[in-house]
Structure 1
């Protein structure tokens, strides 16, 4: 005997209604509890991958930002850049780090290179599901 033949019509309706009620209960719960990742503030710029691995550091990656070269650090002014790197809207740092020491959220914005940065947990920013942005320090 097949399953459909063993179930009465009223039992099929009850199971269908229970599945329907369960679906809407879960959908309603998710509607009010889901929190999307925050967008960076309007004065920030997204850092979009793929990021290039920086071989001179423990966990560094490069985000190329040629439009911001005018404010980047350089050899005659190594603390010029005002930029801060944000990971999911949380500031990383310290800034102006020597490239060989970039790990655990440290970063450097260098002329002709871009932003050399690391994730706060040293994971690969190409695959860690975190969002990165740059901006001026928050007041």
Structure 2
């Protein structure tokens, strides 16, 4: 009985300390391999809060890309920095579909991509 009470108190105290840890800011850098969708469009899973994703801006190095919420067919056929965030109903993380500013492969063009 004392072991059960002691274990319960320990668990409650330990979980209480989790509230003292400040929340971490989202990681703005998009890392990993960008997967070619079609044409000039690439896709990548982004680690960014869903509540903030619709207001996030995409940057290539320090240059803003866009406009945001572009049509996927335009991203694929026209490119030039168009992008869109979306989430499949069965997924819990957002996906970014985008093209680089000059329609080069973002895996090899040497530029860094970030969200703000």
Normalising by the smaller structure, the TM-score range is: 0.5 to 0.7
Counterpart-to-counterpart distance in 2, 1:70 and 1:118: 24
1:62 is aligned to 43
What does the per-residue CA deviation read over 1:52-94, in whole Å, with 9 as the maximum and x for residues that have no partner? 1112xx311112025433445xxxxxxxx11111001110011
2:60 is aligned to 87
1:133 is aligned to 114
Unaligned runs of 5+ in 1: 1-41, 73-80
Unaligned runs of 5+ in 2: 1-24, 89-93
Indicate the larger mover: 60-69 or 112-121. 60-69
TM-score by length of 1: 0.54
1:106 is aligned to 82
- Asked if structure 1 preserves the Cα contact closer than 8 Å seen for 2:27 and 2:48, the reply is no
TM-score by length of 2: 0.64
Higher-helix-fraction structure: 1
Decide whether aligned partners of structure 1 residues 87 and 98 sit closer, same or farther in structure 2, where only a CA change above 3 A counts. same
What CA RMSD, in Å, does the superposition of the two structures yield over aligned residues? 2.1
Which runs of 4 or more aligned residues in structure 1 lie more than 4 Å from their structure 2 counterparts after TM superposition? none
